Every structure is written in structure tokens, then in C-alpha cells.
Structure 1
Amino acid sequence: MTSRPLNLLLVDDDAVDVMNVRRALKANGVVHPLHVAQGAQEALEMLRGGAVSRYRRLVLLDLNLPRMNGVEFLRVLRGDPELCCTAVVVLTTSDDERDRLDAYNLNVAGYILKPVSFQAFCDTVSTLIQYWSLVELP
């Protein structure tokens, strides 16, 4: 993997899912900075406030969030001139076709269903991080 850091922001309110992402990153030897927002509003504040570097930034977004769901978050993000180009990959349990279409219509870079088994989840996270480590993000 590249030596340039990839600044990850995980937006997920489920503590078990956050723990699984952390475990999957560790199991795959990923050392990129991981920031966690438990909701969409917190994620927007972190992005706007500079808590997550704007360089080589990738948002991993769950759609099932309280108050402001993932699709609403994407609408706000895409409407903000400072954040509109932020790379976002949806990482969710929602297999709803409407969610998938809404997400892609809001220019997500990918839509990934969270695998059920931890090993499959680790493999998915590994592939995702390897790919985004190679992508030339600004």
C-alpha cells in the first residue's frame, strides 16, 4: 500500500459496526488515520471544522443513521461548495434498491453491503482500502 495517508471518516452510530471496522483495519495492517462520527451532523461538523484532513479524505457512510440519515447527509454534503467533491463510499446493511439509486444519484464512489461474516467483512475492508490507497485523491 502507498505510504501516503488516507484520511478515513467512518460515519456509523452502531458501536459494534465501528468496532468491526477498527478490527478489520487492524487485521489488515491498515495504519491510515480513522476518525469516527456517530451521526451525520457530527460528521459534517468534523469535515467543516478540519478534524479530518481535507487531503486524501474518504468517507465511509452508513445509511441507517438517527436524525439525519445517510442520504440526507449526502444531499447536504453535495450542496456544500467546500465539501461537494468529498469521496464517499456507502458501507451499509441496506439492500434497498431506492437507497442504492439515491446514493448513486448523489455521486457516491461505491455502494457496499456489509458482509455478515467477520472474515468476509475483513476481506471487503482490505480490498476497499487497497483500492482507495492507490486512487489519486487530491
Structure 2
Amino acid sequence: MPIESYKILLIENDPNEIELMLLALNSDSLGMQINIDIAINGQQALEYLFERKNSDSAQSFPRLILLDLNIPLISGIEVLRKIRNHPQTTNLIVVVMTSSAEDRDIQTCYNLGVNSYIVKPINFDQYVDVVRQVGIYWMRLNEPPM
């Protein structure tokens, strides 16, 4: 039986966070092929999503977007707003993974239609476990709209 293959867009600017995410989402631990594209700022993320050659194809979009709010150039909240306001990306799964536990940020993200908001654990083992659980749930268990 072939291994399922999925694409994730990770929007994160901290190299250590990127490394931890890549470690947690490796194909061996999840039992599926994961291709992870990385944008290190909001501008790169929006270019990745909206300046694509095959923008008409749903397969050109990632199955999951992991979004940090504290990214340079264009904030994570503004990236989320643009994703939700564009007809081609409005149904993409967006999970905010950030250090902010501010009620204002949480409320704003849910008002904009985020699928999930997770405050990053500080403990290494908990961090890796949470990222793996997010990957398994959104990539394997959840059925996204087509």
C-alpha cells in the first residue's frame, strides 16, 4: 500500500522552531509522506499562496498551514486575514502555533476563521508531541472540504 503524501506550509521565522517542527513532522514518526514548504515571513507566505502558476489547482495548495503570529514584514494575523478573504484559500486548514497566549490574539484569530489556536509548549518533549498530534489530526483524521 503506497504511503499517502501531504504538503504543509510552515510559516515561521525562528530557525530553532523550524528545526523542531521538521523533527516532529518527519515522515517516519507520522507514517505518511510529508512535504514541508517554509516561509520565513508573511510576505513570502502570501507570495507562496497567491503567486502560483497552478493557482486553479487545489493540489497546488498545502493541506495544512502552520502559522506563527510573530513573523516579520506582514503579521501572522494579516496573513490569516488574507487567506480567509481569498476565494481560493478560504477553506485551507490554518493552525496558529505561536507563543502568544493573549486573549486578544486568540479572539482575533478565531474571528478570522482559524481552525485551531495552539500556544507552543516550552518543554521540548511536549513541543514535539503537540506538533506530532497536530500533524496526525489535521493530515490523517480530519476530512477537509474539497
TM-score by length of 2: 0.84
Unaligned runs of at least 5 residues, structure 1:
none
What is the count of residue pairs matched by the alignment?
137
Structure 2: which 5+ residue stretches go unaligned? Answer: none
CA distance 1:125–1:119, change in 2 (3 Å): same
C-alpha contact (below 8 Å) 1:27/1:122 kept by paired residues: no
Residue 94 of structure 2 is aligned to residue 88 of structure 1 = yes
Q: Select between 25-34 and 107-116 the one with higher mean Cα deviation.
A: 25-34
CA displacement at 1:69 relative to structure 2: 0.6
Other-structure match for 2:35 = 33
Matched with 1:24 is 24
Superposition deviation, residue 55 in structure 1: 5.7
> Pairwise CA RMSD of aligned residues?
2.2
Which of the pair has more CA radius of gyration? 2
Partner of 1:135: 142
- 1:28 touches 1:122 (CA, 8 Å); kept in 2? no
By relative contact order (CA 8 Å, sep 6+), the higher-ranking structure is 1
Once the 2 structures are TM-superposed, how far is the Cα of residue 45 of structure 1 from its aligned partner?
1.3
- For 2:61 and 2:71, locate their aligned partners in 1 and report how far apart those are by CA, in whole Å: 26
Q: Which runs of 4+ in 1 moved over 4 A?
A: none
